[in-house]
Amino acid sequence: MFPYINGDDLNNNPDQSPSRWVINFFDWPEEKAKLYPDCYEIIERLVKPERQRWATDKDGKEIIGEYALRKPLPEKWWIYGEKRPALYSTISNMEKIMVVPLVSKYSSFEFVPTNIVYMHKLAVIALCKKSDFSLLTSTIHNSWSWKNSSTLGSGTLNYSSTDCFETFPFPKINSQLDQQLEKIGEAYHEHRKQLMLGLQLGLTKTYNLFHCNAITGQAINEQDKQVAALQKHLEKAPNKISFDDAIQGILKLRELHVEMDQAVLEAYSWSDIALRHDFYEVDYLPENDRVRYTIHPDASKEVLKRFLELNHKIHEEEEVKAGLWEKKGKKKNLENNKDANENLGGLFAQ
């Protein structure tokens, strides 16, 4: 049995722990699965009838259509249906990796251990450095995410691992800049973790407070709905931090986010961009919930412009290296360049 984590656990549990368990027999033969009789009995009783029902219709004829791609499941009914062998092979030597819920109000990355099972609605990223966490958690990447991902409903991001993550141009940085990103990533992640535990709130509600313009370093509007709800929540049970400590924790998280964004800008050598963090209305969000503590809209536009230019530059350099483009920018005839096609390594494979 393995812990099973989904987006709800990551976004709503203060400690982000998995709330469910699954039985996973990997690619084991049935004889090996039987060595775990309690788990095997559950699978045989609850899973086997459903799996084998997929194989035939009501008249007992074999179904060829929609379940053809899942052919092994009726015969090997004890196997976990979404075992993803390539994924677990890739992360087998890692202790932790990053995940992000594909559908969420906020695009929040988090580290999780590798000895668990991930829901299909999580993007699993085989990176474990805090410097990568800084890059992906920054407002810089968030702007890219909203630009290149679709949305589901009003103000809900549908994070695209292909159109957003795979196309994101990571910077080429030296060890000093990497250490700087590592340091701020560690500080931000640890503070966010302790703040969530102190508040006894999940990521979504913590970031609701992060973006609440009734909470500033100059004044606290206690008549605001979110501020009043926070006070009531903290008064309900012991073992939570005080209201004053909660406010200071939220303000500190913003300070660390500003520091992280600046470090990311330095990694790209874009320190000339004035980010001007403050509360702004973001036009791609619904009118009743579009205020965010973020960078100035002009800064966001400039960042996206430079990302696009950098993406084109990286793309052209890779194609020249692969032999698809001449250095002068003229595209070669692919039909006469079999070696270049082989060098792509399946880049265009469907």
Average the pLDDT over 310-337 and give the result: 64
Residues of the chain by 3-state class (helix, strand, coil), percent to 5: 50, 10, 40
63/1: higher pLDDT: 1
Q: Which comes out higher in pLDDT, residue 314 or 133? A: 133
Give me the mean pLDDT over the 238-245 stretch.
90
Q: Is the pLDDT of residue 19 over 50?
A: yes
Separation CA 11–CA 28 (nearest Å)? 33
Residues with Cβ within 8 Å of 343's Cβ and at least 6 positions away in sequence, in order, are 322, 323
- Predicted TM-score (pTM) of the model is 0.85
Please compute the mean of the pLDDT values over residues 131-151 and round it to a whole number: 95
Q: Is-contact 228 222, C-beta < 8 A?
A: yes
In the predicted structure, residue 319 carries a pLDDT above the cut 90: no
Share of the chain above pLDDT 70, in %: 85
What local confidence, expressed as pLDDT, does residue 71 receive? 55
For all residues of the chain together, what is the average pLDDT? Answer: 87
pLDDT digits (tens, 9 = 90+) for 178-213: 999 999 999 999 999 999 999 999 999 999 999 999
Average of pLDDT values for 293-300?
Answer: 97
Q: How far apart are CA 265 and CA 277, in angstroms?
A: 13
Please state the domain extents for the chain.
25-79
Tokens standing for 217? 């370093």
Q: Look up residue 127 and give its two tokens.
A: 């990176």
Q: Answer yes or no: is pLDDT of 282 > 60.
A: yes
Ranking 56-60, 74-78, 147-151, 291-295 by mean pLDDT, the lowest is 56-60
Structure tokens at 289: 């919930």
Residue 85: exposed, middle, or buried by beta-carbon count in 10 A (0-12, 13-18, 19+)? exposed
| CA pair distance 55, 112, nearest whole angstrom | 36
Spatial contact of 157 and 144, defined as CB atoms under 8 Å apart: no
Report CA-CA distances (Å) from 112 to 41, 125, 161, 171, 340.
Answer: 30, 10, 18, 24, 39
Q: What is the pLDDT of residue 350?
A: 24
Report the run of H or E that residue 206 belongs to, with start and end. helix 203-210
CB 211 within 8 A of CB 293: yes
Range of lowest pLDDT (82-86, 140-144, 222-226, 325-329): 325-329
Q: What is the pLDDT of residues 205-228, one digit of tens each?
A: 999 999 999 999 999 999 999 999
